[in-house]
Amino acid sequence: MLLLATVLLFGLASAQKVTKMTSCSTDTNQLRIDCKYEPAGEASLCKYTQGDQELGASNGTKDAATKSRTTVSFVDKNNCLLIFDNLPDGKNNFTCNIVLKETVSMTTVVEKKSLPPCSAAWSTSLQRCTGVLLGVSALPLVLQFSGLL
């Protein structure tokens, strides 16, 4: 029974999946979508589609209609990036497909008018870390007043 539980646990722990898709608008009004996946490692292929149309893939394959408007590339060992020009108005479905040992995918809905600027994503991360930074920088002062330093 313990052996079966161990095998199942390791099987679930190594499951391949897309964990998160985030989208934003770049300085030049391009759509940027980051597709994060697990486990981190060298994926053999990343492909983005919009509905039935393939936008592009990390191996250079592109649909003729969007060839000059898309770039797909790996930016980390667990992140595939799409840069897309001329996002149409309205809501658009984008699907990220990652091929490691098997193919996994996730779809996100993007609406041009409600896209945050990409710099806002960095700003939000910085705001979350402000409390930790303040606490660490105040530590020597607290230790000095308490007589420990």
What's the 3-state SS for 116-135? CEHHHHHHHHHHHHHHHHHH
pLDDT band at residue 133, thresholds of 50, 70 and 90? Answer: very low
Give the mean pLDDT of 60-78: 82
How many residues are present in the chain?
Answer: 149
pLDDT band at residue 138, thresholds of 50, 70 and 90? Answer: low
Beta bridge partners of 110: 92
Closest CA to 93 of 110, 114, 105: 110
Token pair of 65 as six digits: 């209609």
CB atoms within 10 A of CB 103: 12
The span from the CA of 101 to the CA of 99, in Å, is 6
Range name among 46-55, 82-91, 128-137 with the lowest pLDDT average: 128-137
| 37 in Cβ contact with 16 (< 8 Å) | yes
pLDDT per position as a tens digit, 1-33: 444 444 444 444 458 899 999 999 999 989 999
- pLDDT score for 137: 56
- pLDDT score for 145: 60
86 or 145, greater pLDDT = 86
Token pair of 26 as six digits: 């770049």
Give the mean pLDDT of 38-44: 82
Question: Phi first, then psi: what are they for 39, rounded to 5°?
Answer: -75, 150
- pLDDT score for 104: 94
pLDDT per position as a tens digit, 72-86: 999 988 999 999 998
Report the b/e string of 18-48 with b at 16+ CB within 10 A: beebebbbeeeebbbbbbbbbeeeebebbbb
83 or 126, greater pLDDT = 83
82 or 52, greater pLDDT = 82
Cα angle, residue 71 at apex, residues 102 and 98 outer, rounded to 5°: 10
Question: Phi first, then psi: what are they for 22, rounded to 5°?
Answer: -125, 145
